[in-house]
Amino acid sequence: MRTNKELFEESKKYLCGGVNSPVRAIKPYPFFTERAKGAMLLDVEGKSYIDYCLCYGPMMLGHKNPEIIDSVKHQLEKGTLFGTPTENEIIFAKRLSQVIPNVEKIRCVSTGTEATMSAVRLARGITGRQKIVKFDGGFHGAHDTVLVKAGSGVVTTTIPGSKGIPEVSIKNTVSINFNDIEALSSVIEKRDVAGIIIEPIMANIGCILPEKGYLKEVKRIAKQNETLLIMDEVITGFRVSLGGAQEYFKVNGDIITMGKIIGGGFPLAAFGGKRKIMNEISPEGQVYNAGTFNGNPVSIAAGLKTLDILERKDTYSGIKKMTEKIMDGIYDMTSKLKIALYGAPGMFCLYFGVDEVKNYDDAKKSNTEMFKRFHKELMKRGVFLPPSQFECNFLSIYHDEQVIDKTLDIMTSALNSIKR
């Protein structure tokens, strides 16, 4: 048996930084997963972890979900990739349009990055404008337009953006504070903004909730200035409710991006909107989007079965109940400590060393060293949170009362350890 450390030493010789995504680069070295099931991960050394990272969001229906596995096996018997349309693509698109507010047509892609990149291109193509407004700490994938004051691994590694981004991209992207209507009004008043791209819940800088009425004001300002509102629901979609954050907060975007959960653990994402907007996408319109793996049959099969499970009446009530249970437990153990706790159905985050977090600036004041110590103690005891103060924690349908109770016991022990 090879150890995690041995594998990492070899990995560094062949993979950039020893990993295929920066957020996986846990110090001093990551653990290498052998297999997973339900709410659990098992590493190559035989140690198990209760998983609250869930691949940074996609696995809400749990690892190795038997229904999704069976659906994928059935498709594999037919073939893996055809390069032609399939009937299941139509069924999938129709079902998305039935549950996602303001979506009548979609285009399937493979990743959330592709979905947001295409949504931005579509907004520019429709309006003829260049500027995009985003929010400090918002992460919308790894493409040039949105890697300005981004969240997720960008803020974790203290990189201000990324080398290699042309100045013109930076010039045409305006990043402002979340939950600040005056800031939005001031940058959009010239009517030169093509689109506002927003995470309705800022889930790549922890879990920052919109203040009451904020999203409705963002929508009003966008409409008033003939700017398209891009609701980035790659994380919140199908998580906080079947209809995502749009349904949860009762605010609709013009272009909606979806990903993570809808693939059931397979690479699948989409962007959509009203027919009038989506008809601008090629081949009907002149805004180009294409991809070899767009709507690939295996991912679509997983996506259809995912929708079947999500539409069951007890899926969201169960997730909501368990989220409340773990948050209540964390609140009880941290009420006398300087820790801010935020969450929504299926997601939560605790910020060390601050009383309140409303935006990126507040989140950056967190005590990241204290979080690292907490994370280390949790790992020793078999609980895996995303390895950053600025990532959100997620729950699956397999995080039941027994799993939550065990987690809370471990968290209590870990907190007591770092308080000494």
pLDDT of residue 161: 58
Among 209, 211, 231, which residue's Cα sits nearest to residue 219? 231
Position 378, amino acid: L
Both 288 and 188 in a single domain?
A: yes
Q: Report helix, strand or coil for 175.
A: strand
Both 293 and 378 in a single domain?
A: no
What is the C-alpha to C-alpha distance for residues 259 and 251, in angstroms, rounded to an integer? Answer: 19
Secondary structure of the chain: what % helix, strand, coil (to 5)? Answer: 45, 15, 40
Both 73 and 191 in a single domain?
A: yes
What's the pTM value of the predicted model, to 2 decimals?
Answer: 0.93
Q: What is the CATH number for 197?
A: 3.40.640.10
pLDDT of residue 73: 98
Q: Kindly give the residue spans of alpha helices, DSSP state H, lying in 225-350.
A: 244-249, 275-278, 297-310, 313-334
What is the C-alpha to C-alpha distance for residues 91 and 80, in angstroms, rounded to an integer? Answer: 18
What is the C-alpha to C-alpha distance for residues 387 and 345, in angstroms, rounded to an integer? Answer: 21
What is the C-alpha to C-alpha distance for residues 377 and 301, in angstroms, rounded to an integer? Answer: 39
Q: Is 353 within 8 Å of 340 (Cβ atoms)?
A: no
Both 299 and 340 in a single domain?
A: no
Both 121 and 264 in a single domain?
A: yes
Among 262, 272, 335, 342, which residue's Cα sits nearest to residue 303? 262
What is the C-alpha to C-alpha distance for residues 161 and 378, in angstroms, rounded to an integer? Answer: 30
- Which run of H or of E encompasses 132? strand 131-135
Both 60 and 70 in a single domain?
A: no
Both 208 and 347 in a single domain?
A: no
pLDDT of residue 164: 74
- The pair of three-digit structure tokens given for residue 109, joined into one six-digit string: 């892609």
Both 59 and 72 in a single domain?
A: no
Q: What is the CATH number for 57?
A: 3.90.1150.10
Q: How many domains does the chain contain in total? A: 2
> Over the range 68-107, which residues count as b (16 or more CB within 10 Å of their CB) and which as e?
beebbeebeeeeeeeeeebeebeebbeebbebbbbbbbbb
Both 11 and 131 in a single domain?
A: no
Both 77 and 57 in a single domain?
A: no
Both 40 and 149 in a single domain?
A: no
pLDDT of residue 154: 47
Q: Report helix, strand or coil for 59.
A: coil
Q: Which of 272, 295, 310 is the last residue of a domain?
A: 310
Q: Is 329 within 8 Å of 408 (Cβ atoms)?
A: yes
Among 325, 286, 347, which residue's Cα sits nearest to residue 404? 325
- Going through 147-214 in order, the beta strands assigned E by DSSP cover 173-176, 193-198
Contacts by 91-97 with C-beta closer than 8 Å and gap 24+? 91/304, 92/295, 92/300, 92/303, 92/304, 92/307, 93/270, 95/304, 95/307, 96/258, 96/262, 96/270, 96/272, 96/307, 97/272
- The pair of three-digit structure tokens given for residue 83, joined into one six-digit string: 């390069």
pLDDT of residue 163: 72
Q: Which of 267, 283, 310 is the last residue of a domain?
A: 310
pLDDT tens, N- to C-terminus, the chain (420 residues): 899 999 999 999 999 999 998 888 898 999 999 999 999 999 999 999 999 999 999 999 999 999 999 999 999 999 999 999 999 999 999 999 999 999 999 999 999 999 999 999 999 999 999 999 999 999 888 777 777 655 444 444 434 456 777 777 778 899 999 999 999 999 998 889 999 999 999 999 999 999 999 999 999 999 999 999 999 999 999 999 999 999 999 999 999 999 999 999 999 999 999 999 999 999 999 999 999 999 999 999 999 999 999 999 899 999 999 999 999 999 999 988 999 999 999 999 999 999 999 999 999 999 999 999 999 999 999 999 999 899 999 999 999 999 999 999 999 999 999 976
**Domain of 52, in residue numbers:** 4-64+313-419
Calculate the CA dihedral of residues 270, 271, 272, 273 and round it to 10 degrees.
160
The strands making up 228-233's β-sheet, listed across from edge to edge, are 105-109, 269-273, 255-258, 228-233, 193-198, 131-135, 173-176
Q: Which of 310, 327, 359 is the last residue of a domain?
A: 310
Both 14 and 134 in a single domain?
A: no
What is the C-alpha to C-alpha distance for residues 330 and 412, in angstroms, rounded to an integer? Answer: 8
What's the Cα-to-Cα distance from 107 to each of 138, 198, 361, rounded to whole Å? 23, 20, 35
What is the C-alpha to C-alpha distance for residues 52 and 232, in angstroms, rounded to an integer? Answer: 22
Q: Report helix, strand or coil for 47.
A: coil
What is the C-alpha to C-alpha distance for residues 21 and 30, in angstroms, rounded to an integer? Answer: 12
